[in-house]
Amino acid sequence: MNSTKGQSIQDIQQDDVVTRLSILEGDMERLHQIGIALSSEKNLNKLLETIVAEARGFTHCDAGTLYRVNEKKKALTFEIMQTESTDYYAGGTTGNKITVPPVPLVKDEQPNYANVSAYVAITGEVVNIPDVYEAEGFDFTGPKKYDEMTGYRTQSMLVIPMRDHTDKVIGVLQLINALSQEAERIPFQTRFESMVRSLASQAAVAINNAQLIQDIENLFKSVVHYTVKAIDARSPHTAGHSSRVAQLTRRLAEDVNLQTTGPFADYHFNDEELEEIWMAAIMHDVGKIGVPEAVLEKHNKLDGADFELVISRLKRVKAFILQRAENRNRDNGYPPEHRDEQVHQELEEWEKDCEFIQWVNKPGFLAPEKKEILDQISQKTFVDIDGEEHPYLMPAEYEAFSVVKGNLTDDERKAIQHHVVETEKMLRKLPFTDKLAHVPMYAASHHEWPNGKGYPKGLKGDEIPLPARMMCIADVWDALTAQDRPYKPAIPPEKSCQILQAGAEHDEFDKDLVDLFVHHRLWEKKPGEITEFPEDTDDTQ
């Protein structure tokens, strides 16, 4: 039965107009929604994938390619390739690299009008081809060769310029093989041309915005990287420390992501959170810019002129001993070079004192019995030729030599520890984006211990953010194993593992994180190498 029976021609025409308007309204709404989706995506690779996917969905086509104009090389570079029927996806976030060479915009110093994508980029015109095998005016050797190799059949093609807000063509969107409802290849409807042109323009603006954001982020990262590098370079013995800590911290975070059982089964860091963790780790020591260089570069308990002053004073003590001996020889009628028993004893004691001062100046552990020897030396005095009495050691020198462990006095250690406070102050002043908002807190907490005995705030347990607990382990590991520390030799990995595990037993480090770090030997992994691990075994014994 004819559905139009009883309708006038005018009614039929009116219904057709209503149908067309309804389709147009649906297209406009779909286009509007796509525009919203494009403008909200800030990741450039994901955005490019979305543009091709949405354009394919909008036009009901099987395949699509997105090119971007490379002005420097005067070519179109392939960014995204998608073919639904063969399940082929390359470029963007797929991990599949596009090996097709760029399309030149210039050949023999003339515009390349032979390639349809180059033609569209140069002229800014839309090209709608029902069947590339019957089309004239363009060189379709590439698509035909691809068809021959893969068994695919390229037929219809809609090629659209991507114009930005300045009307500049920044790329080309190429759609291939429009499909009917029965999935048969058909030409692209002409109604799609203006719609896809509009979509391409929205996409171009979104690409420029995403590129601008990415460029700003890259610039920010570069400034951060070289600032940190400059701070690390203040001391040649810490150069590269921040980068190594950042890499180790990120590896540990990636390892946490792989856990499906145990204490970290419910934790997962997305890409932005991993970037935030990396940024915090690479900036964890920026506050050291305010620490005196003499403290950062300190090798021994006293360095340079400070130690030379002690040695010079001890040499004056020897001169005083010899001068007294000469005076006794003169009074007793002996030649000046005569050495009596007294001078032998005094010189022997002096030599022991000098040897001890040389020993005690080196970093290390000062046992109580050694401290007693230092106390005895500090109580000794001598009288110069003017009759003035002087101590062997000045109070500040005695304090430095009295350091029980390491080579820093309490004040120097506090100065270095204060770098964490300065780090937070400095980072709080930087205009971090929302996705990097936790950087100051993470960086400022990397010396906190779960037992509450860390600094600067004495945070305990879960009060310390998980990324900061990771950073603490990475920081200590690098300090233990670094090859370039003048005040101590590098500690082998297996011994360093034992130190971390011992610290974890005393709640100085997160025990679960230490277990992951040690059992998965994360220090041996290169960036991007964190994958599934075999069943854990304790191979550090």
Q: What mean pLDDT do residues 352-379 have?
A: 93
What per-residue confidence (pLDDT) applies to 399? 93
In a domain, residue 1? The reply is no
Is pLDDT above 60 for 42? yes
What per-residue confidence (pLDDT) applies to 472? 97
In a domain, residue 60? The reply is yes
In a domain, residue 329? The reply is yes
Produce one character per residue of 135-162: b if its CB has 16 or more CB atoms within 10 Å, e if not: eeebebeebeeebeeeebebbbbbbbbb
What per-residue confidence (pLDDT) applies to 418? 85
With bands split at pLDDT 50, 70 and 90, how would you rate the model's confidence at 339? confident
In a domain, residue 480? The reply is yes
In a domain, residue 83? The reply is yes
Same domain, 463 and 354: no
Is pLDDT above 50 for 15? no
What per-residue confidence (pLDDT) applies to 380? 92
Question: Among 365, 391, 407, where does a domain finish?
Answer: 407
- Summarised one tens digit per residue, pLDDT across range 446-464 is 999 999 999 999 999 999 9
What per-residue confidence (pLDDT) applies to 488? 66
Angle 232-235-396 (CA atoms, 0-180°, nearest 5)?
130
In a domain, residue 222? The reply is no
State the pTM of this model.
0.62
With bands split at pLDDT 50, 70 and 90, how would you rate the model's confidence at 536? very low
- Summarised one tens digit per residue, pLDDT across range 411-439 is 888 888 888 898 899 889 888 888 899 99
Question: Among 154, 182, 213, where does a domain finish?
Answer: 213
Q: What mean pLDDT do residues 283-307 have?
A: 82
Q: Which CATH number characterizes residue 440's domain? A: 1.10.3210.10
Paired with 69 in beta bridges are: 76
Same domain, 158 and 15: yes
How many Cβ atoms sit within 10 Å of the Cβ of residue 463? 13
What per-residue confidence (pLDDT) applies to 487? 58
What per-residue confidence (pLDDT) applies to 311? 92
Is pLDDT above 90 for 174? yes
What residue type is assigned to position 293 of the chain? E
Same domain, 113 and 174: yes
Range of the domain at 268: 235-294+415-524
With bands split at pLDDT 50, 70 and 90, how would you rate the model's confidence at 304? confident
Question: Among 382, 407, 432, where does a domain finish?
Answer: 407
* Structure-token match 């050291």, residue found: 288
- Summarised one tens digit per residue, pLDDT across range 66-92 is 999 999 999 999 999 999 999 999 998
- Summarised one tens digit per residue, pLDDT across range 109-147 is 999 999 999 999 999 999 999 999 999 889 998 888 888
The number of CA neighbours under 13 Å toward the Cβ of 391 is 12
For residues 427 and 446, give the distance between their C-alpha atoms in angstroms, rounded to a whole number: 14
With bands split at pLDDT 50, 70 and 90, how would you rate the model's confidence at 528? low
What per-residue confidence (pLDDT) applies to 240? 79
Same domain, 319 and 352: yes
How many Cβ atoms sit within 10 Å of the Cβ of residue 535? 5
In a domain, residue 390? The reply is yes
Paired with 81 in beta bridges are: 65, 90
What per-residue confidence (pLDDT) applies to 44? 80
Is pLDDT above 90 for 178? yes
With bands split at pLDDT 50, 70 and 90, how would you rate the model's confidence at 539? very low
For residues 52 and 64, give the distance between their C-alpha atoms in angstroms, rounded to a whole number: 6
Backbone torsion region of residue 35, taken as left when φ is above 0, otherwise alpha when ψ lies between -120 and 50, otherwise beta = alpha
DSSP helix, strand, coil percent of the chain (3-state; round to 5): 55, 10, 35
H helix intervals, 173-270:
191-232, 241-257
With bands split at pLDDT 50, 70 and 90, how would you rate the model's confidence at 26? low
Same domain, 421 and 357: no
Asked if residues 231 and 289 have their Cβ atoms less than 8 Å apart, the reply is yes
Is pLDDT above 80 for 206? no
Same domain, 69 and 208: yes
User: Most confidently modeled of 92-96, 216-220, 369-373, 431-435?
Assistant: 369-373
The SS3 call for residue 78 is strand
With bands split at pLDDT 50, 70 and 90, how would you rate the model's confidence at 55? confident
What does the mean pLDDT of the chain come to?
85
How many residues appear in the chain?
Answer: 541
Asked if residues 47 and 185 have their Cβ atoms less than 8 Å apart, the reply is no
Q: How many domains does the chain have?
A: 3
Same domain, 15 and 159: yes
In a domain, residue 221? The reply is no
What per-residue confidence (pLDDT) applies to 336? 77
Same domain, 64 and 23: yes
Token output for 478: 């690098």
Same domain, 147 and 72: yes
Is pLDDT above 50 for 541? no
* Structure-token match 């010189």, residue found: 347
Q: What mean pLDDT do residues 158-165 have?
A: 89
Is pLDDT above 90 for 473? yes
Same domain, 241 and 378: no
User: CB under 8 Å to 35, separation ≥6 — which residues?
Assistant: 199, 202
Q: What mean pLDDT do residues 22-33 have?
A: 53
Q: How many helices, marked H, and strands, marked E, lie in the chain?
A: 18, 14
The SS3 call for residue 104 is strand
User: Most confidently modeled of 4-8, 294-298, 520-524?
Assistant: 520-524
What per-residue confidence (pLDDT) applies to 540? 42
Q: Which CATH number characterizes residue 150's domain? A: 3.30.450.40
What per-residue confidence (pLDDT) applies to 1? 41
With bands split at pLDDT 50, 70 and 90, how would you rate the model's confidence at 218? confident
Q: What is the radius of gyration, based on Cα positions, of the chain? A: 37
Same domain, 207 and 348: no
With bands split at pLDDT 50, 70 and 90, how would you rate the model's confidence at 58? confident
With bands split at pLDDT 50, 70 and 90, how would you rate the model's confidence at 228? confident
For residues 446 and 509, give the distance between their C-alpha atoms in angstroms, rounded to a whole number: 10
